[in-house]
Structure formats: structure tokens, C-alpha cells
Chains A and B, each alone.
Chain A
């Protein structure tokens, strides 16, 4: 029913007729609807899912083992047998890039989780309690932040040595201040809202206030930072491996593959191009997804 029918209405009516049951409109469902309508965000999501699948099914996809050296086909250009070519030791770069997804994604996830539970938690505490607690935590974070991220990570690896746990620790420490700052801002925004005051008036206790009101309302923004941080972690990890303070050979990490190809850049540029493209696509996909999430959770924030 309407005052005046227009083609736009008929289009929507046709769409609604196709839909079986109208969904309950929860805030999360509204956010998903906004996300779905954003094509770039969807591209990001699809690429991320593809990368995850590649990581999970790496042994099935990769035509060769990632560390088997084949001295009969060293430094070969991309061909049907070796899609991305082979490196100076005759290892299939395509297989190494596929396995690389495992390392990159898993380690990035660990780094981000670690940063979230250290820096993020500190930020939440600082934001909620405010006052002196806030000042102390945030000033310490300021000191951390005064040291360049990559330098900080390098120092940590220099002290603790190479390896995955050391790398995670390094990235965690380096990204703590930003994580703390973001989460503090998210909590502060929620803390200032009227519904917190209204809940205070009906006698909601401190713990319930954080768990039931603040975190659920801040979680959208936190997810956005989380996804954004995955991209940052991958970048940092690759840069560190590239300059030789990250993972050790023969791990098929993208940064390391890049490093391996460095010496042969002029004769065989493909050795560097493919891993670089992998890093780029991954970071780009996470960023697209993060932007989409931001628009979905927080349509006013843009």
C-alpha cells in the first residue's frame, strides 16, 4: 500500500516476495546488512576466506613440498610445471607461497590476539577506571610508543633470538601502545553514553556494567581494530623476516621468500614479485574488510 506507486517500490516488493521470512532486526543483523551492501568489503571478505582455505588445504593445493630442493630445475622462470617459477635452490615458489599463507596468517593471528590481551586489556582498564590508573597506564604506553615499532621488535629478537614465540612477543610489545589507545577510546566513548548512567541509576554493579553494557557496545569498534591489526602484523612480520630478524630459513614465510629472491632481483625478478604480491593482497584484503566493518558497525563514524 502506498500513496503513489513507483518502479523503485515494485522492485523492493519483488525482492520481498522472494524472501521467505523477515528476519528479526537485531543490531548485529543490521550491521551485517550494511556490510553486505558494501561491495569492497565483500571483496575483502572473500579474499580473506580464500586465503584461509589456501592455508588450511595447503598440502592439497601445493604441487611440491615447500622445502624439497630440485637441483635440476634451479632459478626457472614461471611455467606450467612451476607456476611462480623456482628459486636458486630449485624450490617451487608457488608451493612456498601457498605454505607461506599458513605461517603468515597463523602468526599474525597469534600476534594480534597477544597484543589484544595485553595492550587491549590495559586500554580497557585505563578507559574504565580513568583518573590515576588511566594516567599511569597511558604514560607507560607513551614511552613504549616513543620507540619506533620495528626497532623495538628488532631489539627484542636481538635479546631473545629467532623463532616464532620471540617474533610474536616482539610484535606484541611493539603494537601494545596503539592497541591500548584504540581500546581505551572505544571504552571511553561507551562510558560517556546516557545508557551507562541510566544503568547506574537502576543499580547495575561495576562488573556487570563492563561485561553487559560496555564490552558488547564497544566490541564492534574493537573488532574493527582487530582486523586492521592483522594486516599490520603481517606487514611487520614480513618486514622483520626480510631484514633477517624474523623467522629463520627454510620456513616458507613470505618475507623470507622475498629475502631469498633479493640477491637475484635483476636476473629473476619473479622470485620477489610473487611473494610481494601475496603480502600486498593479504594486507589489502584485511584493510578492505576492516573498512567495511567500520562502516557496518558505526555508520556515523566515517
Chain B
């Protein structure tokens, strides 16, 4: 495989309050190749956003703690960097797009100012040049450059998300983290935004992490896919591997619980029980209590990573020699 831009090793992140400890991310390992798009799929509380925030160094102060692990961007461990050094990295090397475009923009500044502000912060250039680049950026995300003087409220929801993307890409970061970038938008607008993101990604060769709960978006956008459940990555592979040959019971059940457009099903498949509570995880397999394929061993210990084919791994005892015994 090509060179990796980002490598996450044994990352554990907890949220600690006086009342409880939330085990948000449990021992995840992840690699993203240069120019690749990785899809991070999972339900609420699966740890997707926490993973993203750890990479950005934006975990909530006092509460969020990295217990162990490393996050290496081009070989440099981001977790060892000082807050000041991290500010240099954010925006310049890694950018993030959030779900809600309304809260990500400053309502009292023109969009042109907001884009050129980022450019001025990271690339030392003249104001005029920054403004010129801001206008180019607007054109790239499909907004008439003349509108750089407008304020956020003068744009619609989809347009605002385009501006957020323009800000994120202004300094040509090497890695873009998109956290549910289209969830708040309508499907036809979502199609426009995804189209544009794909085009820009190809053009610049940006690596990307696409966080979503929509398997359709992953199938259309991504090269690799990591399925998260209860703060763990339960399955990882190329999208073809994950979609054509899902191995983990959770991934399989997830497919069957989505109503399909091209097949008629009388009843939807239901994953029994509730999404696991990350403040009360079992010491054995997290998915065990909802799993339909479980055996005795599943409630005894935590499964480890098992390679099922080259580049495709999962965390399930089914694929170990021990499975037959019990």
C-alpha cells in the first residue's frame, strides 16, 4: 500500500466526570493512506466524533482524556504536541467540517473575511492576496466569488456548508475530517455537496475521513471503511470487502435493518436491544448482548483483531480456531 498520512495506534479515550467514566474510544488502530477516503460508520455513541476530536486535539478540556495510544500525522505524534503547536496543525494540515454549518460560521463577519482569516493565520501573505485566494476558494465550492462580501445569514443551508468547506480547504490541508457533513441537509442538496467534495478531493489529492451513519454515502464516496460499535472498530476493509463480504455480525445486521430501495422486504430485520451504553461496557465482546451468532466464548473475553482476507479484518471470535470448541 502507499504511504500512510495518518496512523492511530491503540487509542483509548475516556470522558471522566464526578459521576461516571464514559469509555468513548477503546483501543482503536487505524491507518489512512495518502489521497484516500476512509469512511467511519456507526450509530450514536459509537465513538466516531470522539475519534475525530482526538485527532484534532479538540477533546473537551478537563473531561476528555487520552488514556493511551498515539496519533501520528506523517510520523509525528500529535498527542505529544503542545497546544500551541496543535493550533499550527489545525487548519493548516488537518481541517474539520462539522455537522451543523449554522454554528460553524461567525454571523457578524463576511464570508470572504472568514476564509481569508484562515489563510492569513497559516500562510504569511498579504491581505490582498489572501482575499484573492478566498475568492478562488468560493468559486471552487460553487459560489459566485462576488458574494465574498455577504454575511452567513444571506446564504441558504447548503450554501453555508459550501462556505464551511471552503474555509476548511483554504490552506490545502493534507487531511480533511468531515463529521456528518450532509446530515442536516436535504437529499438533493446532499447530492450537490458530495459531488463537489469528491471533485475537490480528486483535484487536490486530499486525504479524508468521512464520518457518517449513512452506508449509502460510504459506498459512494470512500475507498476504505471502518465500522464502529461501542467505541471500537469492529470491522475494517476496503468498501468492496465490507459491502460485498461483511464479516462482523453487527455489520451484517446493520445491512438488513435498513429498508432497501431495490428489494421488497415484508419486515425489517431488527437488531435486538439498545445501542450499548459507553459508560457501562462489558469486559467481554461489546456487541455480545445484541448478537445473534454468539456462543459461550463471546461472554468470556474480548475478541481481538483477526485478518479474514488481505486488508480486511474484524473483531469476532467466529474467525478464530477457538470458535469450534465452544
Contact = CB atoms under 8 A, between A and B. Distances in A.
B283 A2 contact: yes
Contacts of B14: 6, 8
Interface in B9-36: 12, 14, 16, 18-21, 23, 26-27
Nearest to B25: A3
Contacts of A1: 280-283
In this complex, the interface size class of chain B, counting residues with CB under 8 Å from chain A, is: 10 to 19
A3 B21 contact: no
B20 A3 contact: no
B283 A12 contact: no
A1 B27 CA distance: 16
Contacts of A212: none
Interface in B220-244: 231
Contact of B283 (A3, A6, A8, A33): A3
A12 B22 CA distance: 12
B281 A12 contact: no
Main secondary structure on A side of the interface with B: loop
A6 to B, nearest CB: 6
Interface residues of A, number: 10
Contacts of B281: 1-3
Nearest to B283: A1
B23 A2 contact: yes
- Name the residue among A9, A33, A37 with the largest chain B CB count within 10 angstroms: A9
B18 A4 contact: no
Contacts of A3: 12, 23, 26-27, 231, 281, 283, 286, 302
Interface in A1-51: 1-4, 6, 8-9, 12, 33, 37
Contacts of A33: 19
B103 to A, nearest CB: 14
Nearest to B302: A3
B27 A2 contact: no
A257 B286 CA distance: 69
A4 B26 CA distance: 8
B67 interface: yes
Given A9-B21, A12-B21, A4 B16 contact: no
Contacts of B20: 12
Interface in B151-206: none
Interface of A: 1-4, 6, 8-9, 12, 33, 37
Given A2-B280, A6-B21, 11 more contacts: A1-B280, A1-B282, A2-B281, A2-B283, A3-B286, A3-B302, A4-B26, A4-B27, A6-B67, A9-B21, A12-B18
